Amino acid sequence: MNTKIDTIAAVSTPRGESGIAVIRMSGPKSQAIMQKIFDPAKKISKPQSHRVYHGWITEKEEKIDEVMISFFLSPHSYTGEDMAEISAHGSLFISKRILEILVKQGARLAQPGEFTQRSFLNGKMDLSQAEAVADLIHAQTEASRRVALYQLEGNLSQKLSEFSQQLLQACSFLELELDFAEENIEFTSLKDLKKMITQIDTALKKFLESFERGRLCREGVRMAIIGSPNVGKSSILNCLVEKERAIVTEVAGTTRDTIEDVLDIEGVLFTITDTAGLREVQDPIEKEGVRRAEKALEGADMVLLVVDGSRPLSQEDKAIMDKIKEKEKNQLVIINKSDLSQKVSAEEIRKLTGSEQILSVSALKKTGINTLIDSLKHLVISGDLPEEGELLLTRERHRQAILRTREHLHQAQKALTDNMSQEFIAFDLRQALDSLGEISGKKTTDDILNFIFSEFCVGK
Ligand SMILES: Nc1nc2c(ncn2[C@@H]2O[C@H](COP(=O)(O)OP(=O)(O)OP(=O)(O)O)[C@@H](O)[C@H]2O)c(=O)[nH]1
Ligand SMILES: [Mg+2]
């Protein structure tokens, strides 16, 4: 990414027609450019920050559109630089036209996420907050909105900075003592140091345990409906999403390709994949279907295993149960067709699958579906949505950084136990500090930054 300070511009609203379109500009030339192209309805002597002005965007004295504009002057703006925002009529043509005018006047088209990247580089937010901006833009449910907003407000940054400060203090003590070694001045008791490292390590361990819940809140739950042919998998998908999403027939092998739909269960996003019945097949189309079903099973956070309660369990059913067990997937078992006389018991299923989550359902009569929906939510995010103050780890990048931090803390503890020179302990603690600093972006590389900001839309 370009780090020279030039002036960038982008349309921040989606392409297409809308009530209004917002065109944003950030950088030192923002005000000068606006002065050239904006004809205010009332004369402005000196544009003020955080004020809205009415007027026209003009080019060669021709009015291009009637707009509202606002200025946000450095340092009190999103990026920390001088910014201007133009709210124009939401036609794709007009927003493109205005953007072209800005570029003609010396602005450059912004890269994806470049406004937020500048905000980070100018110290307006740390890297975990910048990531939260992207999460908030992508939020589709209450759970994802909450975790993103708490992170944007700096909850994560604040907690981690408490740990960093403690570690930094310990490092300084140890390093200071090194310098004064000959005078034998003792600044800190090694026993206290050990206690502090253990405390931080325990807190980080607890934090790591929140990852599954945090990730599922942020990304949603990928759930695959798996089972033998004709057990009612597609009927269950249709019940869950309340529409005829998948074809249902009495022919075994109806579903070939995987079919996906989404469901918001009390604030948690479920991406549900209906799959082809798993069985040994020769037909090349069904064979491909089975391959895709297995892939969906592989990638799923949880499995809805469906069996047909109106007939005894088959070898196929049992083979599927073994497969799910082998992959250690979180599962909920559905005994479907509860409207017919039952040949399968929950006890039998429990023995074979080891699962306590077993429900009787009739997809045909739509009975047991509400209980199913309730169980799904409790199974994956243990009930309640995140609350303010509940610290959740939501990203793999953060998890990796914390795992590395803990490794270095363990090395420091070992060095302490082995009575190694304080130089070594300080070194390990510095490394722990660096790993922790990757989350907030105190320690970062261009590759990490490019990766993070490439997730963004242009204009944010
Ligand atoms: N009696 C009864 N029949 C059901 C129930 N659920 C599904 N069926 C019937 O079972 C047959 C198969 O249903 P599907 O939903 O297509 O089953 P599937 O598991 O998706 O089948 P494949 O895609 O072929 O693997 C259809 O004739 C459904 O009407 C139920 O709860 N009770
Ligand atoms: Mg089907």
Lookup: tokens for 362: 């009739």
Candidate from 233, 239, 243, 248 with most ligand 1 atoms within 8 A of CB, to mutate: 248
Q: Is 250 in the pocket of ligand 1 (CB under 6 A)?
A: yes
Whether residue 208 has its Cβ less than 6 Å from ligand 1:
no
**415: amino acid identity, one letter:** A
Which atom of ligand 1 is found nearest the CA of 235?
A: 15
Residue nearest to atom 25 of ligand 1 (CA): 229
Nearest CA to ligand 1 atom 7: 232
Please indicate whether residue 235, judged by its CB atom, sits closer than 6 Å to ligand 1: yes
| Beta bridge pairs of residue 90 | 18
Strands, E assignment, 295-447: 302-308, 330-336, 358-360
The predicted structure's pLDDT at residue 1: 43
Backbone angles phi, psi at 242, to 5 degrees: 55, 40
Is the Cβ atom of 52 under 6 angstroms away from ligand 1?
Answer: no
Residue showing tokens 């959740």: 392
Provide block-wise average pLDDT over 10 residues at a time, the chain (460 residues): 78 94 98 96 91 97 97 97 98 97 97 95 95 94 94 91 90 73 58 90 94 92 96 98 96 94 93 95 91 96 96 96 93 97 96 94 97 86 75 93 97 92 90 94 85 84
**Residue 192: predicted pLDDT:** 83
Contact 127, 85 (CB under 8 A): no
Ligand 1 close to Cβ of residue 316 (< 6 A): no
Give me the half-sphere count of Cα atoms (radius 13 Å) on the Cβ side of residue 257: 5
Q: Ligand 2 mean position to 376 CA, how many Å?
A: 21
Q: Which of 153, 258, 270, 148 is nearest to 214 (CA)?
A: 148
What length is written for the chain? 460
> What is 194-212 written as a DSSP string?
HHHHHHHHHHHHHHHHTHH
Pseudo-torsion of CA 135, 139, 144, 146, nearest 10°? 80
The span from the CA of 147 to the CA of 136, in Å, is 9
State if residue 368 touches ligand 1 by the CB under 6 angstroms criterion: no
